[in-house]
Structure 1
Amino acid sequence: MVFRDERWPEGTPGWVDLMVPDQAKAIAFYGSLFGWDVQRGGEDTGFYGMAELRGRPVAGIGQTPPGQDIPAFWTTYLAVSDVDRTAAAITEAGGQIVVPVMEVLKEGRMAVAEDPAGAVFGLWEAGHHIGTQVTAAPGTVAWNECMSRDFAAAKPFYEEVFGYGFQDISSDSFTYAVLLLDGRPIGGLGAAPPEVPSHWSAYFWVADVEASAARVAELGGAVEGKPFDSPYGRQLRVTDDQGVPFVLIAPNEQSGEPEGWEV
């Protein structure tokens, strides 16, 4: 388990949150699955829930505002030093801002954007809240990736706005590039099947994929397909009890355990 007290570097996925119709139901589901202790804020925060491990934030769970028909999904937030400047760069590069820049008390400033292929992601300019403060343990974010219906358009967009480099690991059966910042992998960009909308997704570490998948089913969620091994870990796509997809991943022989790993 690794603790972090500094802001995440520019362009790094540094936070994830979930907005759902039934916040209490989501808190119960993820608390049981990942061992999160979720602290709900007051009315001034919209009762936003801060999921914690060892007393430190790892993710957010909020309630969809009344009267708003917003699809429920895990949103990846990319760390920025100036959210206004990044928002302007997004529109110049062919994306759009879907939630304008706003102040979040003294915690930070945010916006929500959409890339040219329709994938939605957040921007977070840290104030008091720097983002995720725990990594390398079950229940923490392991990976973030954008699966795009227009890989050719998405790649130059993210390069222009965030300065990403790319490590191509494509094969005959899939198109995928690791996103690099200063040569360091921070996420992924892949080509989605034509029937799948462009989206960002979150992977969460678990100690045992099969055991966690069984727990997902017990809690009312669903399992999609069967676990498979990759050089990055043993993986399985699941959905929670409100139909929100995410990916479970556990260290395997190929990947080894991440530095600081603690179960």
Structure 2
Amino acid sequence: MKWFDLTGKTAVVTGAARGLGRAMAVGLAQAGADVVLVTNRSSAEEAKQEIESLGRKAVIVQADVSDQQALPKIVEAALSEFGKLDILVNNAGIIHRTAAADHSFVDWQEVIDTNLHSVFTLSQLAGREMIKQGSGKIINIASMLSFQGGINVPGYTASKHAVAGLTKALANEWASKGVQVNAIAPGYMSTDNTEALRNDENRSRQILERIPAGRWGTAEDLAGAVVFLASRASDYMAGHVLCVDGGWMVR
């Protein structure tokens, strides 16, 4: 298990208070990492307590990742608390469901600021530190809509296509410097973002019929994948978008 051991590593996870972010943060702590929990709307105290119960350290940073001015303090918190930054998980994201003909620019801009601009800036800030130390792991959270068009989510789809492209662009520049940049594309997961779909009997049935695993994913389904991409086990992976989707993409 030495290949997956994260003892002594410092991780930053955005959107860490609940859902996918919390599960990934806890998974990293279970593998040995100390974690900076970045949250905006809700408290991350429960996640902090869960991580500390594992014998790891956790620090909460309250920040709106759509605000460019708030992003440097996230990296600064990791450096001041732990002296280094080894792992960045760009998980925070939002979605607005509106038909393209009616999709407001305000909604579009909010999604792009949160899902894309923050990923670039945080990756750049963290990447500079990782390049200096000669090692690091950046894990972006992509989507099935990094590959497909979706329905009534033009802003979200554009942002997640861009996240996949940015992952590859950064990997091209930084792999030779000891920094691996990869992404996870979750399938249809049981989270707040998919509540409207799960409550739509017709759409939920259509989605489940296409998933070979026969179920919606859970937040815990991402824990192993994020530990893999954060660990030595993935040192020769760069620019990859790893689908954790119950088989959706192969159907």
Higher strand share: 1
Higher helix share: 2
Give the TM interval when normalised to the shorter protein: 0.3 to 0.5
Q: Could you state the TM-score of these two structures normalised by the residue count of structure 1?
A: 0.32
